[in-house]
Chains A and B, each alone.
Chain A
Amino acid sequence: MASKLRIFALLYYLAVAVFGLLIAAWLSSIHRTPLPREEIDALAQVAAVKAWSKGTVQLSADGTLEAEAQRFASALSQALGGEIVVTVAPASAGEPACTNKDSSPESCAEALEASADVALVRHKFELMWVAADSTALVLGTGRRAYLRWQRGKPTLEELASSTAKLLQDSWFRKVSLDGGASLFEITPAYVFSFLLVGDCGARVSWSFFDVVLLPYLSRLLEKLKVLFDIEVNSQVVMCGSLGNSLEPKDQDSQSVVDTSMLQADFMRRTGEWPPDALTRDARWLPPLVRLVAFKPSTPVVLADDKGEAQYSFAVQGFGAVAIAHCDTGANASGEVTDCEAQRVASGWISSLRSWLSLPANESVTGAGIGDGVSLLAARPRMDGISDWELQMLARAVHGHFVQRTAETLRSLVELVDSLPDVVVREEIGAMAFKAAAKAQASTDAAAAGDVQLALAEAREALILALTAIHDDSVVSQLYFSWEFKYAVYLPISMPILVPLSASVGRHLRSMLLACLRRVKR
């Protein structure tokens, strides 16, 4: 009886110990929701493939060239390698300065600068083929170009070949966003903070919306918003410096700020400017791009390394600074004038174009010449970016976003796999699945030709992926080595488990021996 009671007690203790071990294992288990591994692998393969549909060039010829339009279209399509579809369309009204035989390509380009197209990203380009006294390809700021041909110089086939080469160097150029150190990382969203900074000498002010944004930047921002999500705010800083002293006694009538002064003191001075205030909750914060208009009370000259006067500069990771000063007489009120707004807007736009791997001050670097055909492009003075440049960037940005989404999600999976103590909640898994789905939808939209949808989906996918990898709940338990774990748990468990196991074992052995004796009898 006592023996049976003892066995029962030992078994009870053993059951409690096992139950306790199970509870401990459950409490120390790490919850990890499944992640979309297969979708991420599929995404990585899709991202490597060109997802965009073929572009189309609609060729229309004036009366004298109509008969040869089809032949030229075929030759052009062949020269473009079959990647671009060239179709022939009826002639339409064009810019008189470009269709007029007697006008020059330069006047055509100048006339095109004054026109402005609506910012729609489409695949279709228009090429108007006109007879002229010289041969040139003039690109507008929209999606229209004028191919002016002096008959016979060059031949039609040579013209097609040269035109194809020039178009591949311009309209259909592949932009690489990863080359070199860009001003800012390419991310799906930004906060543009416009700062008007004075030098303590006079009070400065501006009607940012009416004088700066609406006339000079609104169209550029509309175009950039096709690519990125952009938030805008503006501030005024009364006392700031580019690196020179703010003491009145140190300020000459015209102070020169050179590269070494900027390098030594500019960033340090910006630490005194007001920072951006977080206006909404966010796990992943978009980069802050500062666009500064510096309005000095006394003239300031910026000098580069060669000693040449400059009006603006950019600093990696900070933004762009432009001097708000016009030689139109002193502005006693300290308010930013239209001339000054135009000057600073030019500086900012040039810096932003350079950041996006575009030439800073023109659409094509110099007037190119391709086998007797010169290339000119109207400068996007009103929009900041031409439509066809936007199309180029859209492709590059879309590819970059999809690739980054795949990489970020893969990093999340690798992180989770490499750190066994990382907790992964259901929300994170859902976010990852959604990001993968959006990225896939974006490549499908690109293939179908819906560029704006493709970009919007790609942006959202990357933001979701970045939010998932920056989620504050994805934290691992602190490292606790196995030596420490043994040192803590063994002294607690051994005094109970060792005697328990020994007793149970002894009883089981005696029971087994008793059974064997009974069997022998």
Chain B
Amino acid sequence: MARALGLLLGLILRASSDAGERNNWAVLVETSRYWYNYRHAANTLSFYHTVKRLGIPDSQIILMMAEDVPCNSRNAKPGTVFNERNHKLNLYGTEVEVDYRGDEVSVENFLRLLTGRHPPSTPRNKRLLSDASSNIFIFITGHSGEEFIKFQDWEELTSNDIADAFKQMQQQRRYKQIFWVSDTCQAATLQNQFYSPNILAFGSSGKKENSYSHHIDPELGVAVIDRFTFHALDKLERLLPSSPETVRSFTSWFNPVLLKAHPELRADLFQRDPAATLLTEFLASTGRPRFQGGLLPAASAQGAAIDLAKRNASLPSPAVERVLSSQWEASVLHFQSQVDDLWAQLKAKMLLAVEGGFQGTKEVDRGQLLLWLSVFSFVGLGAAAL
């Protein structure tokens, strides 16, 4: 019986690990400013390192840090962020890519990030370019109350706003599954108003409960990590892309006595069983390669290519403009072709004029010759300058 159950569990897990191909995104948000909220920056950067270690590239991680803790004048170890007092790992090393920093971390920007509604000039690295196959891991930390979270020191974001943003994401087909994790006071209340499907939400504390810091670094003089993140890292630091750890086993790992709070998992909106959902589905990049059984052997269409080149060489047609790396290059080619034609014409005219003069059969118009010479010189100088 036990063996059969084990086999069944193995099948379920294998099925989960093969649960469709996907791409993974992570949104990591630190909402607090001021030096004494150092631990929130450490929380966020700890999760950042975890997801990076498990393979999610920076191009698919949105990191929002409200406070510039490494460069804070109070930081006794400038340029560093640690999440434990022994300073084993500098979380703010050389490969940290912060996408939103300082005042950019605002309620408006966070909601724009989720709903995909950015000003047109927003670069790719600041957009959540997920699609219908994307598993999104969202971690948010800071100060919050019942059904709201504080951004910076002057804004609040309610659970209703987050829920509406998820609804819009669902309508835009911009996610397949979301795993929302919050490490704040009364964190579980932030997920109360969610109503869109395929969302798993895990809060570090329940209603009327606080999330506490873990320990203070005597050298820095502030708390360096929160209890929830500290204990979460105990599990996550051993996680590998092939680990069979499930969401249920992760959420069950936490000891309310150690946290001094009761973390809550909300799974009613999630269509699958958290016990059958691998943690790596959200925290690790699938990166599963697709190999082709055989390749179509490409053949060079040289003749056709030459025709294409000839057809497109004279003026930049839309097809050529698209393959050129910039519009500027297209305009240079256009100008060059015009200059080439003009030079050929000028050369012919000059030869005619000069030949006529030498042969004496034609009277050379000096004025015309000077005019052509001056035009040729001007065009030549212009082409050289270009």
Contact = CB atoms under 8 A, between A and B. Distances in A.
Contact of B21 (A181, A278, A288): A181
Interface string B284-300: 01111111111111111
B289 A214 contact: no
A474 B117 contact: yes
A501 interface: no
A271 B97 CA distance: 10
Interface string A461-475: 000000001111111
A132 interface: no
Nearest to A380: B296
B127 interface: yes
Nearest to A221: B323
B299 to A, nearest CB: 4
A6 interface: no
Interface string A285-315: 1011000000000000010100000111111
B305 A479 contact: no
A381 interface: yes
Given A282-B120, A472-B119, A263 B295 contact: no
A335 interface: no
B112 to A, nearest CB: 7
Contacts of A312: 291-292, 295
Interface in B106-151: 107-108, 111-112, 115-125, 127, 129, 131-134
A215 B323 contact: no
A347 to B, nearest CB: 6
Contacts of B291: 302, 304, 310, 312-313
Contacts of A310: 291-292
Contact of B241 (A263, A316, A408): A263
A262 interface: yes
B58 interface: yes
A351 B296 CA distance: 9
A187 B288 CA distance: 23
Interface string A33-72: 0000000000000000000000000000000000000000
Nearest to B285: A267
B80 interface: no
Chain A interface helix/strand/loop/mixed = mixed
B98 to A, nearest CB: 14
Interface string A312-351: 1111111000000000000000000010001001110111
Nearest to B156: A478
A214 B309 contact: yes
A216 B292 contact: no
A1 to B, nearest CB: 54
Contact of B242 (A260, A314, A354): A260
Contacts of B52: 268, 271
B291 to A, nearest CB: 4
Interface string A265-285: 111111110011111011111
- Helix, strand, loop or mixed for chain B's interface? loop
Contacts of A379: 296-297
Interface residues of A, number: 94
A222 interface: yes
B198 interface: no
B333 to A, nearest CB: 12
Interface in A148-183: 181, 183
A318 B301 contact: no
Nearest to B301: A382
Interface in B31-74: 52-59
Contact of A116 (B242, B287, B304, B323): B304
A342 B300 contact: yes
A362 B296 contact: yes
A414 interface: yes
Contacts of B115: 475
Contact of A268 (B57, B118, B132): B57
A285 B323 contact: no
B160 interface: yes
Given A266-B289, A312-B295, A316-B286, A415 B117 contact: no
Contacts of B287: 262-267, 315
Interface in A224-280: 225, 230-234, 259-260, 262-272, 275-279
B158 interface: yes
A219 B285 CA distance: 34
A279 B299 CA distance: 32
Contacts of B54: 268
B359 interface: no
Contacts of A213: 323
Interface string A168-206: 000000000000010111000000000000000000000
Contacts of B288: 259, 262-263, 315-316
A103 interface: no
A272 B59 CA distance: 9
B52 to A, nearest CB: 7
Given A181-B21, A382-B299, A478-B158, A275 B304 contact: no
A317 B130 CA distance: 9
A384 interface: yes
Contacts of A219: 301, 304, 308
Interface stretch (B7-15, B165-173, B206-214, B374-382): B165-173
Which 4 A-B pairs give the minimum distances between C-beta atoms?
A317-B23, A271-B57, A281-B120, A313-B289
Given A381-B297, A381-B299, A472-B118, 12 more contacts: A185-B132, A185-B133, A215-B300, A264-B242, A264-B287, A266-B287, A304-B291, A312-B292, A317-B23, A382-B301, A415-B167, A475-B117
10 contacts: A267-B56, A267-B286, A268-B57, A271-B58, A272-B95, A345-B298, A381-B298, A472-B112, A478-B158, A479-B164
